[in-house]
Amino acid sequence: MEIKNYVRPNTLEDAYQTLLASDHNALLGGGVWMKYTNKKIDTMIDLSRLGLNHIVLHKDEIIIGAQTPLREIEIHPEIKGLGNGFLSLAVGSIVGVAFRNVATIGGSVVGKYPFSDLITPLLCLDVKLKFFPEEIIDLHDYLEQKHKHQAILTHIIIKKTKGHGYFKKVSNTSLDFSILNVACFYDQTFKIVVGSRPGKPIRATEVADMLNKSLPLSDDTLKKAGNMILKTIDFSSDERASKEYREILAKTYVMRGIKEVIKR
């Protein structure tokens, strides 16, 4: 990574103005991904002095500052209690503890990484992103945006809910990117998300709708859900796995996830 200038602003306004000053300026979260991509940066804007490293609990919401390291999220008691710990499990599956002590939730969400083990379970929940300047946007809508968001993510807001969750990451080694990941959640209605297809995480809305109308679930409904996943979601091949292998994994783990969240 090549960086010409480095600044550590004390205010969001300063950080934002520096970001707008040039297309070659960039925000620094944990810096792990930036280093990996070997970018050339004019001014690197370190966000560490902006007071964005915290997890605040409100009555109905968990508010996570963008600079919070993944490890803090993984071990936080309230987050461990969400969906039987499915979010903690997902975050805990990302590389190793030392890595998760550095990588931030902000850098992990903003990057919209298709392999993300964090976004897949987050998409099962009601999650809003708060940006500076003032803007709050639903995570799903943010992921759908095609244009680059020239703003600073300050907080990730998770609505508390009492449902049951499931997360599965399939990778060649525990340190590798996902070949496929699946998250399911049930809180009176089903949410199913499949990621690393290798495309971005996507909600299996049609499958969830079918399940919601078919309670209590029979074995036939479960099989129908497994088949529908393959008809309604696209999978493809890359250097990690073939389309066919991903399809087998998706069908298997979606069916397992549905069973898991309903039986608790």
Binding site residues, ligand FAD, CB under 6 A: 26-34, 36, 47, 66, 94-95, 103-104, 106-108, 110-111, 113, 115-118, 152-153, 177
Going from the C-alpha of 233 to that of each of 176, 204, 221, 246, the distances in angstroms are 23, 7, 18, 11
From the CB of 250, what's the least distance to ligand FAD, in Å? 18
H helices, E strands: number in the chain: 12, 12
Q: Any idea what the Cα angle at residue 10 is, between residues 6 and 13, rounded to 5°?
A: 95
By Cβ distance, which residue is nearest to ligand FAD? 107
Q: Do residues 207 and 192 touch, judged by C-beta distance below 8 A?
A: yes
From the CB of 206, what's the least distance to ligand FAD, in Å? 26
From the CB of 171, what's the least distance to ligand FAD, in Å? 7
Smaller CB distance to ligand FAD: residue 34 or 207? 34
Smaller CB distance to ligand FAD: residue 152 or 250? 152
From the CB of 10, what's the least distance to ligand FAD, in Å? 16
Going from the C-alpha of 159 to that of each of 50, 78, 187, the distances in angstroms are 24, 12, 13
Nearest-angstrom CA–CA distance, 159 and 126: 5
Smaller CB distance to ligand FAD: residue 15 or 208? 15
Smaller CB distance to ligand FAD: residue 66 or 82? 66
Going from the C-alpha of 169 to that of each of 158, 235, 261, the distances in angstroms are 22, 16, 16
From the CB of 160, what's the least distance to ligand FAD, in Å? 23
Smaller CB distance to ligand FAD: residue 15 or 228? 15
String of b and e for 25-64 (b: at least 16 CB within 10 Å)? bbbbbbbbbbeeeeeebebbbbbeebebbebeeeeeebbb
Smaller CB distance to ligand FAD: residue 80 or 111? 111
From the CB of 102, what's the least distance to ligand FAD, in Å? 7
